[in-house]
Amino acid sequence: MSKKPFLMNFKQEVPCFDPADVYDDDEYNQKLQMRTLPDGSLLWNARSRKYPTSCWTAGHRIKAGYTKSGKYKPSRYVKGKSDKRGGK
């Protein structure tokens, strides 16, 4: 057996993606305070936060049963919730 780690057998070079090479005609939009493409669409990159979305979690019932310590917990209803989170 060789002393080389097993995963080194599958190591490959991966090309790096540089947005400057692909999007050379982007411009900074002062009103949106973001970079945009000529067609007006936003240019997202890893440093920017995803656009927030509103998410609704429906109400549901938690079933009755025994806990790990042996106590009995009756069933209960959890109200629905609405929140804003990073885009999905």
Q: Where are the domains of the chain?
A: 17-45
Does 84 have pLDDT greater than 90?
Answer: no
Question: What DSSP state is assigned to residue 25?
Answer: T
- Of residues 75 and 82, the one with the higher pLDDT is 75
pLDDT score of 22 = 60
pLDDT of residue 43: 72
Distance CA 38, CA 42 (A): 9
pTM of the predicted protein model: 0.34
Q: What is the pLDDT of residues 34-60, one digit of tens each?
A: 777 777 777 765 455 566 678 888 999
Q: How confident is the model at residue 8 (pLDDT cuts 50, 70, 90)?
A: confident
The DSSP annotation for 34-72 comes to EEE-TTS-B---TTSPPPPEEEEEPPEEEPPEE-TTS-E
How confident is the model over 11-29, as pLDDT tens digits? Answer: 888 777 666 666 566 677 7
pLDDT at 86 over 90: no
| Class of residue 34 by CB neighbours under 10 A (exposed 0-12, middle 13-18, buried 19+) | middle
DSSP 3-state of 23: coil
